[in-house]
Chains A and B, each alone.
Chain A
Amino acid sequence: MARVGSALGEAQHVLNACSDRYHFTVGLAAAVTLGRVSLLPPTHTAQVTRQLRAFAPDAICLTDTPALETQLPQVAYPCACDVARQDSPVAQIEPGRLTAYVFTSGSTGTPVPYRKSWGPLVSSVQESNRRLGLADGRQWSIVATVPPQHQYGLEASVLMPLVGGHALCGERPFYPADIAATLGTLPRPRALISTPVHLRALVGSDIALPATDLIVSATAPLTRQLASEVERRYDTRVMEIYGSTETGQIAARRPAREAQWRLWPGIRLSRHGEETWAEGGHVEQPTRLCDVLELTGTGRFLLHGRLSDLVNIAGKRNSLAYLNHQLISIPGVLDGAFFHCDESRATHTHVSRVAACVVAPTLDPEQLLRELRERIDAAFLPRPLLFVARLPRNATGKLTQQALQALAAAHLKNDVA
Chain B
Amino acid sequence: MSEPLSPRKQSPASGAHAALAAEVAALIVGALNLDVAPSQIDPGAPLYGEGLGLDSIDILEIALVVSKQYGVQLRADSSENERIFGSLRQLVEYISAHRTK
| A interface with B by C-beta (< 8 Å) | 173-178, 181, 197-198, 200-201, 204-207, 313-314, 345, 347-349, 351, 353, 369, 378-379, 381, 383-384, 412, 415
A174 pairs with B76, CB closer than 8 A: yes
B64 pairs with A201, CB closer than 8 A: yes
A174 pairs with B61, CB closer than 8 A: no
Provide 14 A-B residue pairs closer than 8 Å at the C-beta atoms, listed in order of the A residue.
A174-B59, A175-B63, A175-B76, A177-B74, A178-B75, A204-B68, A205-B63, A207-B73, A347-B31, A348-B31, A349-B60, A379-B55, A379-B57, A383-B33
Most central of A345, A351, A415 by chain B CB within 10 Å: A351
- A345–B76 Cα gap in the complex (Å)? 28
Known: A379-B55, A381-B55. A175 touches B33 (CB 8 A): no
Known: A383-B33, A383-B34, A383-B35. A205 touches B76 (CB 8 A): no
Known: A204-B68, A206-B67, A347-B33. A175 touches B55 (CB 8 A): no
- A234–B75 Cα gap in the complex (Å)? 21
* A175 proximity list for chain B (CB < 8 A): 60, 63, 73-76
Nearest CB on B from A78, distance (A): 21
- Which B37-79 residues sit within 8 Å CB-CB of chain A? 53, 55-57, 59-61, 63-65, 67-68, 73-76
Most central of A181, A205, A345, A415 by chain B CB within 10 Å: A205
Partner of B61, one of A176, A351, A381: A351
- A175–B67 Cα gap in the complex (Å)? 11
User: Which single residue of chain B is at the shortest CB-CB distance from A412?
Assistant: B35
Nearest CB on B from A209, distance (A): 13
* B74 proximity list for chain A (CB < 8 A): 175, 177
B31 pairs with A176, CB closer than 8 A: no
- A353–B31 Cα gap in the complex (Å)? 13
Nearest CB on A from B99, distance (A): 15
* B73 proximity list for chain A (CB < 8 A): 175-177, 205, 207
B18: Cβ under 8 A from any A Cβ: no
User: Which single residue of chain B is at the shortest CB-CB distance from A348?
Assistant: B64
Partner of A173, one of B57, B63, B67, B76: B76
User: Which single residue of chain A is at the shortest CB-CB distance from B56?
Assistant: A174
B65 pairs with A348, CB closer than 8 A: yes
- A182–B4 Cα gap in the complex (Å)? 43
